[in-house]
Structure 1
Amino acid sequence: MKTINRVIFLLALLFISIINAQEAQLTKKDSIAESFWMVTLGTNFVDDSGDEFRELFDFEEAWNTVPYPSRISIGHYFKSGLGLEAIGSYNKYNEGKIIDDVVNPQDTDYLGLDFRVSYDLNKILGETGFFDPYIGVGAGYTDANNQGRGTYNAIVGFRTWLSDHWGLDFNSTGKWTMNSENSTNHVQHAVGVAYRFNVKKGISRRGEEKLAFLEEFEDKQQRIKDSIDAKQKEDEKARLLAEQLEREKVANQLAAEEKAKKDAEDAERARIKSEIEELGNVYFKLNSSYLTSNDKKLLDKLVMILEDSPTLEVNITAHTDSRGTDKYNQWLSERRAKRTVDYIISKGIDGKRITYDAFGEAKLVNECNDNTPCSEEKHGHNRRSEITIVSF
């Protein structure tokens, strides 16, 4: 009697699982656009009032626009969530608006050409249906208020899709001038109609959950069928137990091998780090960026380490003492860094494995600043190129 009841229970459970599996079948709503090309056509609003980052929505006095389409863009968006986009825009600074903290005396044209890299935040948040937020950075050229300037850009926006191809795009871009002496920062807002084409579809996170459920269902269905026969169930449990023990055995062996490999790698890294630390620094003569014979011997040892460790990457940081102007010392440290790197590359080391930075007199190793008299020996400690490991 107990066996019959158990079979009835398993059959009922199987029936319920089949109904749930039918409800979990994939539909069109479970697909998403993973990569595509997109063009947008719309209008833009420019706030170049001088306090645009404090009063973002001063429509009446600060926002400038024209009564016709004034912005066009084209871009390609990838499965990773990254997008590349080129944008052209036209606008007009209207007479009477606030431009650079003063009232604009007459209408002037605004032209912009920008390039940006954006990232789809749904890759982090999960698919949110019609709401598609993104952020981005970029650069461009703007001619505004009769002043041309390159700009560094930061973008935040979102799109709402009305169909597979059509949607609306809303975004705001902060533009920081590359020439702060002759031009100012400003904000450009935009809204437009978006059309995407060459769309490649994928499965949404919800669709993946359905697929996982269906896979789980198939596994559960098989287990239920196998469980109807008590003997088969016991045999299956014994088989699974044996497989589990075998997997644990293999896993333990792999873990031991991985640990031994890691210990060897750690020892090798420690050896390389110790060798580089023992090299010390390259030191320069006053107002010089040329390498002495001793410096070259030191760098030759570094070249040997790099040759023995093909995946090792290093960074060279060059410095000066405090004497001289900040501008001169920055220039001199850049010369020292470049000469150091060029020498290493001349010995056959791939330049991609070496990066460098120049800090002028910004990172002194002692008290010898502009206000502290020091001996030549102490100043000499600051005229250096340092070697640090970037990556193994």
Structure 2
Amino acid sequence: MKTIKVIGFLMLLLAANLTFAQDELQITAKDSIVQSSWIFGVGFNAVDDSGNVFDGLFNVGDEWNMVPFPSRVSIGRYFKNGLGIEAIGTYNKYKEGNIIDAVINPVDINYYGIDGRITYDLNKIIGQTGWFDPYVGVGAGYSDANNLGRGTYNAVVGFRTWFSDRWGLDFNSTGKWAMSQGDGASNHIQHAAGVVYQFGIEKGLSKRGEEKLELLAAIEKEKQRQTDSITEVNRLKDEALLAERLEKERKEAVLAAAEKAKLDALNKRKEEIRSRIENLGYVYFDLNSSTIKGKSKTILDSLSVIMKEIPTLKLKINSHTDSRGASTYNDWLSQRRVDKTNEYLLSKGISDDKLITEAYGERLLLNECDDNTYCSEEKHAVNRRSEFEIIEF
């Protein structure tokens, strides 16, 4: 049973990954849509009252009647269930020379219409898009067309497309059937296009947002189930699992202790090497000399032994002079000293790639004995040296 639950949870996660591969699994502004609002619209309308219904439906020049200014106003309330109630007022003018009720219209005739309708948002069936809202509707109204007033039964099909939560465009076509055919009243079609503005907005989650919310709730529920299961295991303290865990921890502790001991030994070894090199001391030179003599040779011999013992050891040789003499001369002299020190170690079988050198002249004195300070020979001698800096172990 537990295995089945785990498989079910993995399938749930897989479904989440496939459904929301392009989006992070969280509720965002994109998942929020307008569910109810008031909509106010202003636009244009065109009336086709030619009398031939669908024949010549797009014969705009001869059969459509329009005025060159906004001629339609509407106000409506739209609800969460997809239904909307709307009131519409229109003005138009039948143009002289257009076909009206199957005859040529002899003079301009004013057209007035006032209508009420109930619409249904088709997105409730096909799924919310957030920016495209097709709709259908029915209604009734009163039209004064061709100087004949008549009540009408209306049917409408249209769509709105939204630029933002508040602003959009509305396009629709309405068929109007006269309630009574007396006095020659006929049926006609009215097209409309305009700008719409939403206010009194109430927002909610789209279908996709609701799916995300359900999936997040399911994942959270599964996480809680797992947490509760782990808590229960801990509470019951299953002896077999506990023994296995303790044994694993014991082995890990042994390995950790061994690793620490190894690291401590390595650090100790490194410190011993550093101490051995430092304890050898410096290679000292006589005044104005770069010759390596007795004790200095002994130091370099011991250093070469250490370097052979530790093949990975790399050193930097730094050579110096005291402050007496010209600085350019002292630069040259310290270069001679560092070269001689390096050559001696090479002669002892030390590889050239294990040594680097640098000459400092009189720039790095170890005491106060500069050009402006009188010092004894013993103090000056302290500065005439080659010293060793560990680069790598």
Contact 1:226-1:232 at 8 Å conserved across structures: no
SS at match of 2:182: coil
Question: Which of 194, 197, 200 is 1:195 aligned to?
Answer: 197
Letter paired with 2:53:
E
Contact 1:117-1:137 at 8 Å conserved across structures: yes
**Number of the residue aligned with 1:67:** 68
Contact 1:227-1:233 at 8 Å conserved across structures: no
Q: CA deviation at 1:131?
A: 1.1
Letter paired with 2:202:
K
Q: Mapping of 1:121-200 within 5 angstroms?
A: 121-182=122-183, 183-200=185-202
Letter paired with 1:168:
L
Contact 2:168-2:195 at 8 Å conserved across structures: yes
**Number of the residue aligned with 2:219:** 217
Q: Mapping of 1:226-241 within 5 angstroms?
A: 226=228, 231=233
SS at match of 2:67: coil
SS at match of 2:68: coil
Matches of 1:151 and 1:220 in 2, distance apart?
58
**Number of the residue aligned with 1:42:** 43
Query: For each residue in 1:283-319, what CA deviation from the matched residue of structure 2 results, as whole angstroms up to 9, or x when unmatched?
Result: xxxxxxxxxxxxxxxxxxxxxxxxxxxxxxxxxxxxx
Q: CA deviation at 1:216?
A: 1.0
Letter paired with 1:180:
Q
Q: Mapping of 1:300-319 within 5 angstroms?
A: none
Q: CA deviation at 1:112?
A: 0.4
Query: For each residue in 1:231-256, what CA deviation from the matched residue of structure 2 results, as whole angstroms up to 9, or x when unmatched?
Result: 57999xxxxxxxxxxxxxxxxxxxxx
Matches of 1:111 and 1:233 in 2, distance apart?
80
SS at match of 1:105: coil
SS at match of 1:179: coil
SS at match of 1:61: helix
Q: CA deviation at 1:223?
A: 3.4
Query: For each residue in 1:169-225, what CA deviation from the matched residue of structure 2 results, as whole angstroms up to 9, or x when unmatched?
Result: 000000000121220000000000000100011111111001011011112223344
TM-score of the superposed pair, with normalisation by structure 2: 0.53
Letter paired with 1:91:
N
Q: Mapping of 1:375-386 within 5 angstroms?
A: none
Q: CA deviation at 1:129?
A: 2.7
Contact 1:108-1:145 at 8 Å conserved across structures: yes
- Structure 2 gap segments, 5+ residues each: 238-393
**Number of the residue aligned with 1:113:** 114
Q: CA deviation at 1:158?
A: 0.5
Query: For each residue in 1:27-55, what CA deviation from the matched residue of structure 2 results, as whole angstroms up to 9, or x when unmatched?
Result: 11111111111110000000000112333
Matches of 1:78 and 1:130 in 2, distance apart?
17
Change (3 A) 1:223 1:105: same
Matches of 1:176 and 1:192 in 2, distance apart?
23
Matches of 2:174 and 2:35 in 1, distance apart?
25
Identity among equivalent pairs (%)? 60
Change (3 A) 1:234 1:82: farther
**Number of the residue aligned with 1:273:** none
Letter paired with 2:117:
R
- Across the aligned residues of Structure 1 and Structure 2, the Cα RMSD in angstroms comes to 2.9
Contact 1:47-1:188 at 8 Å conserved across structures: yes
Contact 2:33-2:130 at 8 Å conserved across structures: no
Q: CA deviation at 1:226?
A: 4.8
Higher Cα radius of gyration:
2
Q: Mapping of 1:82-121 within 5 angstroms?
A: 82-121=83-122
Letter paired with 2:128:
E
**Runs of 4+ in structure 1 over 6 Å off:** 19-22, 232-235
Matches of 1:127 and 1:232 in 2, distance apart?
47
Matches of 1:113 and 1:44 in 2, distance apart?
13
Contact 1:95-1:104 at 8 Å conserved across structures: yes
Q: CA deviation at 1:23?
A: 2.0
Letter paired with 2:125:
I
Contact 1:111-1:143 at 8 Å conserved across structures: yes
Change (3 A) 1:234 1:83: farther
Query: For each residue in 1:39-98, what CA deviation from the matched residue of structure 2 results, as whole angstroms up to 9, or x when unmatched?
Result: 100000000001123332111211110000000000111111111111000001011111
**Number of the residue aligned with 2:385:** none
**Number of the residue aligned with 2:370:** none
Change (3 A) 1:97 1:126: same
Deviates more, 1:134-143 or 1:124-133: 124-133
Letter paired with 2:141:
G
Q: CA deviation at 1:147?
A: 0.7
Contact 1:226-1:233 at 8 Å conserved across structures: no
Change (3 A) 1:33 1:233: farther
Deviates more, 1:26-35 or 1:36-45: 26-35
Query: For each residue in 1:118-150, what CA deviation from the matched residue of structure 2 results, as whole angstroms up to 9, or x when unmatched?
Result: 111111111023110111111111001111111
- Report how many aligned residue pairs link the two structures: 224
SS at match of 1:50: coil
Q: CA deviation at 1:229?
A: 7.6
TM-score of the superposed pair, with normalisation by structure 1: 0.53
Matches of 1:233 and 1:140 in 2, distance apart?
74
Letter paired with 1:37:
W
Query: For each residue in 1:314-337, what CA deviation from the matched residue of structure 2 results, as whole angstroms up to 9, or x when unmatched?
Result: xxxxxxxxxxxxxxxxxxxxxxxx
Matches of 2:80 and 2:231 in 1, distance apart?
47
